[in-house]
Amino acid sequence: MWIRVLMAAAMLSGCSYSHLYGEEMRGVQIEQRHRVHVVRHSKDERAIDTMIARRLAQAGFSATLGPEAEGVPDGVDAVVSYEDHWMWDMSNYLLVLRIDFRDPETNELLASGQSYHTSLGRKSPDYMVNEIITEILTEK
Partner 1 sequence: MAGRLQLLPSLGLVMLFGCTLHHTPKSFELDEPWPSLTASEPVAVRLGDAPSGKRTIKLAGQSMTLDLREYTRALVERVEAALTAQGVAVASGATKNIELEVTHANILPGAGNNHCVVDFTVRTSGGYVKGLQARAESMDPQKACNAALSRAALTCVSDAQFRAYLASGGS
Asked if residue 42 binds partner 1 (CB under 8 A), the reply is no
Stretch that binds partner 1, among 39-47, 56-64, 108-116, 119-127 (CB under 8 A): 108-116
Calculate ∠ Cα 90-94-96, nearest 5°. 135
Report the C-alpha gap between 136 and 140 in whole angstroms.
8
Q: How far is the CB of 8 from partner 1 (least distance, A)?
A: 11
Asked if residue 103 binds partner 1 (CB under 8 A), the reply is yes
Closest CB to partner 1 among 19 and 58?
Answer: 19
Asked if residue 80 binds partner 1 (CB under 8 A), the reply is no
Single-letter code of the amino acid located at 9: A
| Contact pattern from residue 14 through residue 33 relative to partner 1, giving x for each residue in contact according to CB under 8 A and a dash for the rest | x--x-x-x-x-xx-------
Out of 44, 66, 77, 112, the residue judged to bind partner 1 by CB under 8 A: 112
DSSP β-bridge partners for residue 129: none
Report the C-alpha gap between 10 and 109 in whole angstroms.
36
DSSP β-bridge partners for residue 37: 64, 79
Cβ neighbors of 103 (< 8 A, separation 6 or more) are 78, 79, 110
Report the C-alpha gap between 53 and 5 in whole angstroms.
45
Residues that bind partner 1 (CB under 8 A): 2-3, 5-6, 9-10, 13-14, 17, 19, 21, 23, 25-26, 83, 85, 87, 95-96, 98, 102-103, 106-109, 112, 114, 116, 118
